[in-house]
Amino acid sequence: MTVETLDDLSIAYTPGVASVCMEIHGNPSESYHLTNRANTVAVVTDGSAVLGLGNIGPEAAMPGMEGKSILFKGLADIDAFPICLATQDSDEIVQTVRYLAPSVGGIKPFKTSPPLVALISKTHCKTLGYPSSTMINMEQPSRSSLEL
C-alpha cells in the first residue's frame, strides 16, 4: 500500500488499522494475509559456526547475516532480518526463536552449530507447527544434525 494522502494514512495507521488488528485478534492465522508476516524471515545466529572462521560470536557474524538477508531479498523477494543473539545457550536460543515467531513467517538458523540448528528445528516445528524444511541449515550439514 502506498500512502499518498491523509486518508491513506488513516487506513494504514490510526484509526483504520484497528479493524485489521481486531480481525487478527479473532483469527491469528490472518496475520499471514493481512500483514507482511508471510514474506518475512528472521535469520538467527549465535555466531558459533561461521563458515571458515568458527565460533567468532554474534557481532562478527553480522556481515554474513546481512549478506544472507540480501540473498533472500534479491533472489526471492523475501524480507529477511538478521538477528544476532548474545548467547550460545541452546535453551535461550530456542526460547528466543519462540518469542520471534509471531513476527515472522519463518526462522532461518544460520552460522550456528549443526546440533543447535537441529534442536531449534525439532523444537520449533513441534511447538509452533512450522515445516521442518524451513529450518534446515544446508551450510554445514553433519551426521548428528541429520539423525534428529
Quick: pLDDT tens for 39-90: 999 999 999 988 889 999 999 999 999 999 999 999 999 999 999 999 999 8
Catalytic: which of 68, 108, 111, 130? Answer: 68
Of residues 83 and 112, more confidence is placed in 83
55's grid cell: 565460533
Residues 14-31: tens digit of each pLDDT: 888 999 999 999 999 999
The pLDDT of residue 128 is 63
Say if CB 116 and CB 128 are below 8 A apart.
Answer: no
Residues 135/125, Cβ–Cβ less than 8 Å = yes
Cα separation, 51 vs 127, whole angstroms: 29
Active site residue 73: no
The residue among 51, 58, 45 whose CA lies nearest residue 139 is 51
Is 13 among the residues known to form the active site? yes
Q: Which of 78, 80, 28, 61 has its CA nearest to residue 139?
A: 61
Instruction: Kindly tell me if the per-residue pLDDT of 133 is higher than 50.
Output: no
Tell me: pLDDT of 136 over 60: no
Does the pLDDT value for residue 134 go beyond 60? Answer: no
Determine the pLDDT at residue 97: 86
What pLDDT sits at residue 112?
72
Residue 141 pLDDT: 39
**Domains by residue range for the chain, with CATH:** 1-35 (no CATH), 38-147 (3.40.50.10380)
What's the confidence (pLDDT) of residue 139?
35
- Report yes or no: 91 and 85 within 8 Å, Cβ to Cβ: no
DSSP state of 14: T
Region 4-12 average pLDDT:
87
